[in-house]
Amino acid sequence: MKVITVGELAEKRSSFPAQWVDVRSATEFAAGHVPGAVNIPMEQVESRLSDFSTNLPVVLICKSGTRAALVSAMLSPCRQDVHVLDGGTAAWAQAGLPLVVNTKTRWSLERQVRLIAGLIVLIAAVLAVSHDVRWVYLSGFVGLGLTFAGLSDFCPMGILLGMMPWNAPRECKTSAVQITSDARAAAGSESR
């Protein structure tokens, strides 16, 4: 595994063309990532190998470097030009380098499922201890559902949460751009 520090990378950035790949979840990526990085979450790396550049070295980025090192080990049988950003985005931000930040992000469905499942198990455990021991079956049911979701990759709770209003697609706010006849003419002459 080749490790590259933030200082080395910031210094060589213009003379070291590379594909920057952030292996964190989409939500983590949206919360702050290195400019120019693409998001290929760690769990999707094997299915998205064709998204990796074959012409450029790859710099793997995560929050601290741990997941990037794991992905580097996954890629090592296929290629030798993979680098891991030492310290990840945390070190990048600490060095005072810019991050692209999406200020308003929603929680990933996976995180929502973990929260709801955890709350149900916690409430069922408290009710089983304080009121009636049969509440423990609710915890067992949630555990069975999570096991089923892990084995089958089908999660009914995730589907249900995906239909909730807070997970509905947001309206795009784009400003209308008028194309003048001069701009159309210029675009037409460039395409010839």
Among candidate residues 62, 78, 155, 172, the one labeled active-site is 62
pTM value surpassing 0.85: no
CA atoms of 32 and 183, how far apart (whole Å): 36
Give CATH for domain 2-94.
3.40.250.10
DSSP 104: S
> What confidence tens digit (pLDDT) does each residue in 45-85 have?
988 988 998 889 999 999 988 999 999 999 988 888 999 99
Residue 103 pLDDT: 59
Cα dihedral sign for 50, 51, 55, 60? Answer: negative
- Which residues lie closer than 8 Å to 137 by C-beta, 6 or more apart? 124
Every domain of the chain with CATH number 3.40.250.10 lies at 2-94
* 78 in active site: no
